[in-house]
Structure 1
Amino acid sequence: MRVLLVEPNYKNKYPPMGLMKISTYHKMLGDEVHFVKGTNPNIDAEVWDRIYVTTLFTFDFAISVKTINHYMHLVNDVDSLYVGGIMASLMPDKVIDATGIKRSHILTGLFTDTSVVGDNNDINVDQLPLDYDILEEIDYEYLAGDNYFAYTTRGCPNHCSFCAVPILEPNFHVTNNIIEQINTIDRKYGPKQHLLLLDNNVLNTPDLEALVDDLCAAGFGRGAKYVDPGSYNIVMMRYHNGDRADFLDRKMMTYLEKFKKRIKSPEMLDVFLQIVIGAEDAENFAEYMLEHEAELTPIIEKYRNKTPKARYLDFNQGVDGRKINDENMTQLARLAIRPLRIAFDDIKLKDKYCAAVRTAHKYGIKEISNYILFNYKDKPEELYERLRINIKLNRELGIQIFSFPMKYSPIDRTDRDFIGTNWTKKSIRAISAILQVTKGVVAAGSDFFYKAFGSSLDEYFELLAMPRELIMFRYHFERNGTTAQWQKLYRALSEEQKKELMIFVSHTVSELRILPWPEQFKKILPYYLIKFNDKKEQLSNGAVQLSFINDSDVVIEGE
């Protein structure tokens, strides 16, 4: 069969592991497999025997549906298109309504039984190794990089109400052997530097010590080092294995072109260049390289970079801080973990979270990445307090905790517009503005934190009320006096008026332009229409000139 694998053109950090396993499956069957991200005019004229479209977040519903509808016209039979992944698993009925696809063609949860796509075999696709080669077919670069991606367990016993895992992976169980997964990738694609394990709750593993033993044996014990074999050695290994993919030839040629600058010996450079020039006219590039391996390899080995690099293991979905204790940290401390990821989703878990951090520190963990859920059932002050707790722990323990506030969005919605009971649109936008400046990270330094979020709860709430541009371009508006003007007006409001203001400025800028302004807010509201512009924002005779948030020359003046 001719099989097409499709990932919608949304932004994502990790490669589509489900499609990478499906690719391995179909190549095992001898099928021709291609991968595309988004829609590609180059393949619109082609017809495919089967198409798989993956999906990710529910808030990417629109782009995913558009992609599905596009590819339904490129199969021999509409029944030959299948949709899977997170979004499709969480809201199959909405996908059916938007595309007309049959329910039987939505692959929910894990792909463990190929009979659902009409194949008669006993292959568990979810346990197959990833096909990294399909990533060479697209230009998109995944932020997570070229690393090992794997699971050692599936599911989670916690069943948190805000989490999709109970639906996607309802049963906790141990999956295939991690050593076998890594060895398979090494033999096929060459070794990777880092390992990202995507387990949802690895501390629930029945035999953690055995898992850690395996991870150490696989090369990820504490202090692990990695020597990059380089593209030459990896491609030559693949040539020996019989691989003849065109991209391997291109990768080899690119590597050799850059490598010649490393060669210091004139004699070796002469041999190297003769081989490379000869390769340009070779009818079979791979066979030519194999024929000249004995001459070329010693030159590559002499001059390639063999400096050992640190190697890290990342439990990327985080470990359950409530379960951290001396026994399991004794085991985790044997690994090259960097960073250790722990969630802090509820202020009520303050004591358990702090105990987990102190225990991790006791066993030598120096970097912690901390997920902080907000906009759920929490209050704005609870987000501030959790962030401040991390600042205090940093100072107390001399470690680095990098906090990542994560806005809650219900798993049954197709947008990101949900506002929690205790939050307002304005307060959410303010947090978003702060995080845009910090690139989503609340760093370990206390000076940085108190500048970004305020040195007290009063300052924090004032920041939440502050106009977006004054948050985003803090220093500019502080220097020219605009922030001080806004603060004077804001601080003159009563507590009740401040609450009313937060509701009123939760409207969009377009709405604020046309809505009637309450009398008590007429002096402060012009600041919410300001747009940063070095040439236009200026003070004159005590009046601030503010431009609307568009490119027009229309301005309003506040006294």
Structure 2
Amino acid sequence: MSNITKKKVLLIEPNYKNKFPPIGLMKLSTYYKNLGNWEVVFYKGDLKAFVIERITEKCVEMLNTIDKTIDWSLKKDYIYEYIKTRKKEYISEIGIDQSDYAFLIRGQLNDFKDYYWKGAWKDNPEWDRVGVTTLFTFYWDITIETINFAKLLVKDKKDLMVGGVLASIQPKEIEAATGIKPYVGILNIPGQLDKGDKQIIDELPLDYSILDEIEYKYPMANAFYGYMSRGCIRHCPFCAVPILEPVYNSYIELSDRVNKTRADFGDQKDLLLMDNNVLASDHFEEIIQEIKDCGFEKCAKYIQPNALDIAARNLNYGINDRAYIRKTQSIIKSFYDSLKDEQESFEVYKILDKYHIKKLLTSKKDNLLKAYKEVKPYYDKHFKPVPRQRYVDFNQGVDARLFTEEKARLLASIAIRPLRIAFDDIRTLPSYEKAIRWSAQAGIKHFSNYLLYNFKDKPEDLYKRLEINVKMCDELNVNIYSFPMKYHPLRKDSDSNYDYSHNRDYIGINWNRKYIRAVQAILNSTKGQIGRGQSFFYEAFGNNEDEYIDLLEMPDSFILYRFFFKWLDNINGLGPTHWRHAWNKCKSKLNSEEWSKVLDAIHNNVFTSDVIERFPDEDVHTLLSYYKNFRNEISTPGTELYELKKDYDSHPIIELRRKKYHENY
């Protein structure tokens, strides 16, 4: 079996920012490794850099066959930089003159450098299969760019697999843009990729090792990920779930996958479940019991395992050398950087230097395993994990309309934090309020929800929902964190000539560009969330709906730098009071048709000189002048606003008030 050449599959996530790791690719990695005759590589980042990395590996292999007296892998970082930049100074850093075969070595370095720069690698694809995952529709450009680049990497374009959210929502559009027909939905039928294979890919455990193959770090990486149900009984028009998971599956067992993850990759702190409507399950009580059996009962604690031991063990077993070379080197290097004792630091540094593991590119498997044995006593001395609270998170939220007191009690019996209850429509208030109250009575104190806006709602609806949450926080003595989420179309509207699904520009029927920008400006000051504290909510959003609408009409700069511009009211006349005076003056003097045109200009949120000059009235010019974007002036040294901002920031009382405001969010 060892003499059989393995086929190669490359799994790619486009280089967008993402909180959660690509679960689909983690399952695919398990699938191919289970087949036994596949080498699996995962990548997220600059694909050109990945190509250079692979060419560098081949170059090092070649140099080691030419001159075995020198370990060329220890020069890998300089070889990589030479191929990448073509800068001759890296030739001297490589030290080819130390070799008796310097002429041949130089020739090979130039050949590999030219192999990249002349594009010969495009004629010799390395990969038997390439899989590209996709996510949100507004990541269209980077996703299409990634798919088209991936076509250069695969031997046969029919073996380029594209799947995921965007691929399922817009398969025809992706095929038109790339020539690749994507997979739609989830891989939940045996033999979908290889006829005759019995594995159900969607139910496979996740290969966590691939996350350590890349430089990118997912913010939510230390968790068990999974589903205990699939699909949703609702068919909300703004939601992609009916497309991605059209059939509701009420129960998927979790324990085996959790146990395998623990055995292979170590225990994880939290349990993050991606179910789209778990409360619709007829097996909800069983789901809760299994969550407890997995170690996530209420008040459950997590004790961090020894990550260095796990990484070195897996590296020794050859589970994923690409991942665990990076992981082991990173842990040892980070440990060295954290040491405070000079003598210990010196001793560990000697180990790093002795085994050439100060840099990732020069770190070799055998050297890392030797270094691990010598570093381990120092590492174990400092490794003192403290028990930490575990959390369960049904990240996609639960359906308020399906709540009962018993279901609330069951949810309270696990380590749930936060409990996410959808509040996308003000019309669901009776069900939503019951769900919050029952949950609070059961002992749940921490809630979170997304509030969809810019769909068919009115701007006032968002204010009402936020205010309801803030008031219930005080009444029930709980914490509800609200995250307003702007609606984006999933597909091109047949009634529109423009496809808003590929960007973030869509404006709902009851909204306008100015209001959208104002809400985003407010959220910028609250760090994207609204929590407990009525006084701070009313400060941010207004004391009532009229003040809220007034705030949405206010110039964006006045919202973003609200305390500064309030201060300027008394300094140079550039502030909300003077803006409001100009607003009221124009509103009272203009007839309804003229005022409507002014509002249209403001709501379009474009305030260039040509827009202002369309209006003959000087009072309108004055009003629109307040809508200028002052951010550049505030941040540019030498401008009047920059100097005033410095003066403002130097006042300690002002700074304390502003700090207190932000700390409440």
Residue aligning to 1:210:
286
- Quote the offset at 1:250 in angstroms: 4.5
Residue aligning to 2:603:
506
Question: Which of 384, 394, 405 is matched with 2:484 structurally?
Answer: 405
Question: Which of 203, 209, 212 is matched with 1:133 structurally?
Answer: 209
- Quote the offset at 1:42 in angstroms: 3.7
Q: Tell me, what secondary structure is at the counterpart of 1:370?
A: strand
Question: Which of 490, 513, 525 is matched with 2:583 structurally?
Answer: 490
Does the 8 Å contact 2:315/2:321 carry over to 1?
A: no
Q: 1:189 to 1:513 in 2, by over 3 A?
A: farther
- Quote the offset at 1:436 in angstroms: 2.0
Alignment deviations for residues 311-348 of structure 1 (CA, whole Å, 9 cap, x no partner): 11111111111122211111111100111101111111
Q: 1:162 to 1:512 in 2, by over 3 A?
A: farther
Residue aligning to 2:221:
145
Alignment map for 1:262-277 (pairs within 5 Å): none
- Quote the offset at 1:230 in angstroms: 2.5
Does the 8 Å contact 2:10/2:129 carry over to 1?
A: yes
Residue aligning to 1:517:
615
- Quote the offset at 1:10 in angstroms: 1.8
How far apart, CA to CA, are the structure 1 residues paired with 2:507 and 2:257? 42
Residue aligning to 1:414:
502
How far apart, CA to CA, are the structure 2 residues paired with 1:246 and 1:539? 52
Question: Which of 16, 22, 30 is matched with 1:24 structurally?
Answer: 30
Alignment map for 1:314-463 (pairs within 5 Å): 314-412=393-491, 413-463=501-551
For the aligned residue pairs, the C-alpha RMSD in angstroms reads 3.0
Residue aligning to 2:133:
54
Q: Tell me, what secondary structure is at the counterpart of 1:32?
A: strand
- Quote the offset at 1:93 in angstroms: 1.3
Does the 8 Å contact 1:366/1:399 carry over to 2?
A: yes
Q: Tell me, what secondary structure is at the counterpart of 1:343?
A: coil
How far apart, CA to CA, are the structure 2 residues paired with 1:270 and 1:47? 43
Alignment deviations for residues 291-324 of structure 1 (CA, whole Å, 9 cap, x no partner): x5xx987775554113111111111111111122
Q: Which amino acid aligns with 1:456?
A: N
Alignment deviations for residues 61-94 of structure 1 (CA, whole Å, 9 cap, x no partner): 1221122112212221221212111111111111
Alignment map for 1:223-262 (pairs within 5 Å): 223-238=299-314, 241-243=317-319, 245-256=321-332, 259=335
- Quote the offset at 1:536 in angstroms: 2.8
How far apart, CA to CA, are the structure 2 residues paired with 1:63 and 1:538? 36
Q: 1:263 to 1:378 in 2, by over 3 A?
A: closer
**Greater Cα shift, 398-407 or 65-74:** 65-74
Residue aligning to 1:284:
366
Q: Which amino acid aligns with 1:524?
A: L
How far apart, CA to CA, are the structure 1 residues paired with 2:605 and 2:397? 36
Q: Which runs of 5+ in 2 are unaligned?
A: 1-6, 52-120, 358-363, 492-500, 570-574, 645-665
**Greater Cα shift, 498-507 or 353-362:** 498-507
Q: 1:21 to 1:357 in 2, by over 3 A?
A: same
Residue aligning to 1:544:
none
Residue aligning to 1:537:
641
Does the 8 Å contact 2:251/2:281 carry over to 1?
A: no
Residue aligning to 1:552:
none
How far apart, CA to CA, are the structure 2 residues paired with 1:122 and 1:235? 31
Alignment deviations for residues 202-227 of structure 1 (CA, whole Å, 9 cap, x no partner): 11121222111111111111001111
Q: Which amino acid aligns with 1:28?
A: N
Q: 1:422 to 1:353 in 2, by over 3 A?
A: same
How far apart, CA to CA, are the structure 2 residues paired with 1:379 and 1:169? 30
Q: Which amino acid aligns with 2:530?
A: V
- Quote the offset at 1:366 in angstroms: 0.8
Alignment deviations for residues 131-166 of structure 1 (CA, whole Å, 9 cap, x no partner): 222222222222223321111111000111111101
Query: Aligned pair count?
Result: 533
Alignment deviations for residues 215-242 of structure 1 (CA, whole Å, 9 cap, x no partner): 1111111001111112223224435755
1:479 lines up with 2:562 in the alignment: no
1:67 lines up with 2:165 in the alignment: no
Alignment map for 1:56-205 (pairs within 5 Å): 56-101=135-180, 105-113=181-189, 115-174=191-250, 176-205=252-281
- Quote the offset at 1:288 in angstroms: 4.2
Q: Tell me, what secondary structure is at the counterpart of 2:174?
A: helix
Q: Which amino acid aligns with 1:136?
A: D
- Quote the offset at 1:49 in angstroms: 1.1
Q: 1:456 to 1:271 in 2, by over 3 A?
A: closer
How far apart, CA to CA, are the structure 2 residues paired with 1:296 and 1:64? 42
Q: 1:284 to 1:204 in 2, by over 3 A?
A: same
Q: Tell me, what secondary structure is at the counterpart of 2:163?
A: strand
Q: 1:216 to 1:106 in 2, by over 3 A?
A: same
- The structure richer in strand per residue is 1
Q: 1:83 to 1:274 in 2, by over 3 A?
A: closer
How far apart, CA to CA, are the structure 1 residues paired with 2:17 and 2:346? 45
How far apart, CA to CA, are the structure 2 residues paired with 1:270 and 1:472? 49
* TM-score, normalization by structure 1: 0.87
How far apart, CA to CA, are the structure 1 residues paired with 2:203 and 2:562? 50
How far apart, CA to CA, are the structure 2 residues paired with 1:11 and 1:518? 46
Does the 8 Å contact 2:213/2:322 carry over to 1?
A: no
Q: 1:241 to 1:43 in 2, by over 3 A?
A: closer
Alignment deviations for residues 96-122 of structure 1 (CA, whole Å, 9 cap, x no partner): 221122xxx310000124644454412
Q: Tell me, what secondary structure is at the counterpart of 1:384?
A: helix
Alignment deviations for residues 238-293 of structure 1 (CA, whole Å, 9 cap, x no partner): 357553625424533443455577799x9x99999998888669983476479x5x
- Quote the offset at 1:178 in angstroms: 1.1
- Quote the offset at 1:419 in angstroms: 1.5
How far apart, CA to CA, are the structure 2 residues paired with 1:505 and 1:269? 61
How far apart, CA to CA, are the structure 1 residues paired with 2:346 and 2:392? 42
Q: Tell me, what secondary structure is at the counterpart of 2:603?
A: coil
Does the 8 Å contact 1:467/1:527 carry over to 2?
A: yes
1:8 lines up with 2:14 in the alignment: yes
Q: Which amino acid aligns with 2:578?
A: Q
**Greater Cα shift, 124-133 or 385-394:** 124-133
Q: 1:241 to 1:208 in 2, by over 3 A?
A: farther
How far apart, CA to CA, are the structure 2 residues paired with 1:238 and 1:538? 55
Q: Which has the larger radius of gyration?
A: 2
- Quote the offset at 1:183 in angstroms: 0.6
Does the 8 Å contact 1:375/1:420 carry over to 2?
A: yes
Does the 8 Å contact 1:480/1:539 carry over to 2?
A: no
- The structure richer in helix per residue is 2
**Greater Cα shift, 115-124 or 149-158:** 115-124
